[in-house]
Amino acid sequence: MRLLPLCTFLLLFSLTPPELHAQSAGTPAGGDEQITAIEAGMLFDGTDEEMVENVTILVRDGRIEAVGPDVDVHANAERIDLSGWTVLPGFIDMHTHLTGDPEDLGADRGAFLFRYPERPALVGVHNADVTLMAGFTTVRDVGAPGSTALALRDAIAEGWVYGPRMITAISLGTTGSHCDRTTGIRPGTADLDQRRPYVFDGPQEAEATVRRAVRDGADMIKVCATAGVLSLTDDIGPAQMTFEELEAGVATAGMLNRRVAAHAHGLEGIRNAVRAGITSIDHGSVLDDEVIQEMIERGTWLVPTMMAYEAVVEMAEAGFLPPGPAQKTFEIAPQVVESHRRAFAAGVPVAFGTDAGVFEHGRNAREFQLMVEAGLSPAEALLSATRNAADALGMSDDLGTVEAGRWADLVAVRGNPLDDISILQEMGFVMREGVVYKRDGQPVR
Ligand SMILES: [Zn+2]
């Protein structure tokens, strides 16, 4: 069921122009090539749970050429001394909304009436930058107004904007669901059809809507299998898509080389999505032992987004949320940590994701700490944002580990994150595809 979205990535990453702007900020060219040798004091390469000491990482034209203690370094290579640092693969966040911001989630949901529809894309320029500076070199972006995230994705790939590589979803849902952006808005208030281009009902419409999303540029598909906390009026518990709708959507997406992520809180919606062959369950608030076992057997990824719950509880307690979302928050949040704890202990496949946009962008690395508090080891938490997330994207040949052939997406922190996971929140060094964006804790411009 989990098919490689090859076409997307070939188009997105091979045929786009080089990073015109970023290159001037990065490492200098050695002849026609860019060669960089990084001396790493410690390296967590993402292939296993071990830390190795004193290795050289040779980077040529954006890719890792060699890694090890005795690497031949070309005479014209630029050297970067990270001997006092721990180097890791660039992090992957599987659940962001780069064009979204927490200020839009408050009680005044009418703000969109007074804003230009392009605004989220421009706000996203800032959010993309701070996300990259936090050490996240790839994000799976799972829902945005209009085409704003698609436009941001392309602008980053073309080098106009500093940010992580974006694997961008279009989100689909049934009428009145969490993914129906008119849910809770009074009919006649605005041009509602403009706000709901990917709403469908029934398996046949699910197929057509997936096709339309792929046509419109989606790298992957997100579906709302259940309600969400922040949509205004739908109940949090019930399923919002039938098994047949999910099955039809997943099969069509697979045929078109696209993976599908399910936003899912309640148990029935989670079960439907897992059985339909979904790639990931995002949030996964209510999990029982049976569905956890099914996820393990099928290799369904759990993307926990623990920061999202922390954020909505804070907002609800502060009286910031509208009454519906506040009530849903208090209903669902107490069940979540227990679900995730149980799933982690059982060994469910975990891919790191935060739901950044529900809280301020750039804080993503706090999720590592919450995962460790819920029972993952620091090494397991790190693997969830590196090797595992790359696997869940179907991009393991390019991402997720520090190995020859992968893109040179590297980050570094002071100290050993296996001893203290919280140090990942103080990112010191960021390289994406061989270009340095942050050094000694300072952005490189
Ligand atoms: Zn989300």
pTM of structure:
0.91
Q: Is the pLDDT of residue 181 over 80?
A: no
Distance 18 CA to ligand 1 centre (A): 31
Q: Which domains does the chain have, with CATH numbers?
A: 9-90+401-443 (2.30.40.10), 93-393 (3.20.20.140)
* Mean of per-residue pLDDT scores for the chain: 90
Cα 143 to averaged position of ligand 1 atoms, centre (Å):
7
- Per residue in 263-315, pLDDT (tens digit) is 999 999 999 999 999 999 999 999 999 999 999 999 999 999 999 999 999 99
Let me know if 296 is exposed, middle or buried by CB neighbors in 10 A (0-12, 13-18, 19+): middle
Own/partner contacts of 235-240, CB < 8 Å, gap of 24 or more, are 235/328, 236/265, 236/266, 236/328, 236/331, 236/332, 237/265, 237/266, 237/286, 237/331, 238/266, 238/268, 238/269, 239/266, 239/268, 239/269, 239/272, 240/173, 240/174, 240/177, 240/178, 240/269
Distant-in-sequence contacts of 190-199, Cβ < 8 A, 24+ apart: 190/112, 190/113, 195/145, 198/170, 198/171, 198/172, 198/173, 199/172, 199/173, 199/174, 199/175
Q: What is the pLDDT of residues 128-164, one digit of tens each?
A: 999 999 999 999 999 999 999 999 999 999 999 999 9
Q: How confident is the model at residue 364 (pLDDT cuts 50, 70, 90)?
A: very high
- Crossing angle between the packed helical segments 243-255 and 203-215, to the nearest 10 degrees: 30
Spacing, Cα 445 to ligand 1 middle (Å): 30
Spacing, Cα 114 to ligand 1 middle (Å): 24
Mean pLDDT, residues 209-219:
97
Confidence check: pLDDT of 107 > 70:
no
Dist. CA 420 → ligand 1 center (Å): 28
- Of all residues in the chain, the percent with pLDDT exceeding 90 is 76
- Please give the distance, rounded to the nearest whole angstrom, from the Cα atom of residue 172 to the centre of ligand 1: 13
Give DSSP secondary structure letters for 251-274: HHHHHTT--EEEEE-SHHHHHHHH
Q: How confident is the model at residue 102 (pLDDT cuts 50, 70, 90)?
A: confident
Confidence of residue 238 (pLDDT cuts 50, 70, 90): confident
Please give the distance, rounded to the nearest whole angstrom, from the Cα atom of residue 97 to the centre of ligand 1.
6
pLDDT band at 248 (very low <50, low <70, confident <90, very high): very high
Beta-strand ranges (E) seen in 323-445 are 410-413, 429-432, 435-439, 442-443
Helices (H) then strands (E): counts for the chain: 13, 16
Ion ligand 1: protein residues whose beta carbon lies under 5 Å:
355
Ligand 1 geometric centre to CA of 413 (Å): 28
CA of 2 to the centre of ligand 1 (A): 21
pLDDT digits (tens, 9 = 90+) for 27-63: 434 456 789 999 999 999 999 999 999 999 999 999 9
Which of the two residues, 16 and 397, has the higher pLDDT score? 397
Please say whether the dihedral angle defined by the alpha carbons of residues 239, 241, 246 and 247, taken in this order, is positive or negative: positive
- How far is the centre of ligand 1, averaged over its atoms, from the C-alpha of 222 (Å)? 10
If you measure from the C-alpha of residue 206 to the centroid of ligand 1, how many angstroms do you get, rounded to a whole number? 20
